[in-house]
């Protein structure tokens, strides 16, 4: 299960709408081992494409260095699909390289850049296997979330 | 002459879980060959047709080797090589 606070959820959706019809992408970092996404980091889609995303390689190195310095992990890796459903494509599965992350997909095919409905879903992708998981959106993280991180399954 | 190589999570199965390993080599290609000797299987995940795989990034002292000579990029003692898989995907 993915536990995520409302402000971060809204920031991901806003980024997806803003970059529509191109795919938006980014991460939400969190303390290593916490499984709690706390630091929203929108990334530039170096592909600037409606059907593909890729973090710029220089930005990627800076991001991982920063997470290392802060003892963080990419708890959430998100991107949008702008004309298809919020389900991992073959490309998403082949290129997934963080088995510990929650892969969030947002579909803007109905809302576009506007205020309409978005589809927001979360998956684990490891060893070419996709499993969708529940999402719990909270107003803010409680001590219980911090003390007892959601299990990885 | 040791070169430090930082290994991403997904390739740590080849390094017994280590985040960083040491190797030697005058070029990135040599360093990867030497890495392969100690950690069998890792080269295939990094290199295809004598090029760094499209969705693997290799940096020497913070510079992406695609812009500095690819696998022929020269190394000297104390250099730090960082390997990071691309974060990429999309509906296509």
pLDDT tens track for B80-91: 999 999 999 998
Domain count, chain A: 1
Q: Which domain holds residue A54?
A: 2-142
CA-based nearest residue in chain A for residue B92: A51
Contacts of residue B29, Cβ cutoff 8 Å, sequence gap at least 6: B50, B71, B72
Q: What per-residue confidence (pLDDT) applies to A116?
A: 87
Contact status of B83 with chain A (Cβ, < 8 Å): no
Residue A153 lies in a domain: no
Residue A149 — very low, low, confident or very high, per pLDDT cuts 50/70/90? Answer: low
Contact A83 B91 (CB under 8 A): yes
Contact A52 B89 (CB under 8 A): yes
b/e per residue A28-52 (b: at least 16 CB within 10 A): bbbbeebbbbbebebbebbbebbbb
Residue A148 lies in a domain: no
Q: What per-residue confidence (pLDDT) applies to A150?
A: 53
pLDDT tens-digit series, residues A57-102? 999 999 999 999 999 999 999 999 999 999 999 999 999 999 999 9
Residue A149 lies in a domain: no
Contact B89 A89 (CB under 8 A): yes
Contact B55 A95 (CB under 8 A): yes
Q: What per-residue confidence (pLDDT) applies to B92?
A: 77
Q: What per-residue confidence (pLDDT) applies to A152?
A: 47
Residue A129 lies in a domain: yes
Inter-residue contact A78 to A37 (CB < 8 Å): no
Residue A150 lies in a domain: no
Inter-residue contact A83 to A21 (CB < 8 Å): yes
B3-85 CATH, one of 3.40.50.620, 3.40.30.10, 3.10.20.30, 3.40.50.720: 3.10.20.30
Q: Which residues pair with A49 in a beta bridge?
A: none
Which residues of chain B fall short of a pLDDT of 50?
Answer: none
Alpha helix positions (H), B1-92: 28-38, 42-46
CATH no. for residue A76? 3.40.140.10
Phi-psi group of A64: left, alpha or beta (phi > 0 → left; psi -120 to 50 → alpha; rest → beta) = alpha
């Amino acid at each position: 299960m993915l536990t995520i606070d409302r402000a971060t959820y809204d920031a991901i959706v806003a980024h997806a709408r803003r970059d529509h019809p191109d795919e938006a992408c980014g991460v939400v970092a969190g303390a290593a081992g916490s499984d709690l996404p706390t630091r929203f980091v929108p990334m530039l889609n170096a592909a600037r494409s409606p059907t593909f995303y890729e973090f710029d390689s220089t930005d990627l190195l800076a991001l991982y260095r920063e997470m290392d310095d802060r003892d963080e992990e990419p708890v959430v890796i998100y991107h949008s699909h702008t004309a298809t459903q919020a389900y991992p494509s073959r490309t998403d599965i082949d290129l997934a390289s963080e088995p510990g992350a929650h892969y969030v997909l947002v579909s803007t095919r109905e809302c576009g850049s506007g205020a309409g409905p978005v589809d927001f879903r979360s998956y684990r992708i490891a060893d070419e296997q996709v499993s969708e998981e529940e999402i719990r959106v909270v107003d803010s993280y409680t001590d219980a979330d911090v003390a007892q991180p959601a299990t990885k399954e | 002459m040791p070169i430090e190589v930082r290994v991403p999570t997904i390739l740590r199965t080849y390094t017994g879980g280590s985040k960083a390993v040491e190797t030697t080599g005058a070029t990135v290609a040599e360093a990867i060959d030497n890495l392969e000797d100690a950690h069998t299987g890792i080269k295939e995940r990094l290199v295809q047709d004598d090029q760094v795989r499209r969705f693997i990034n290799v940096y020497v002292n913070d510079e992406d080797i695609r812009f500095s000579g690819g696998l022929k990029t020269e190394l000297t003692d104390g250099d730090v090589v960082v390997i990071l898989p691309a974060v990429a995907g999309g509906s296509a």
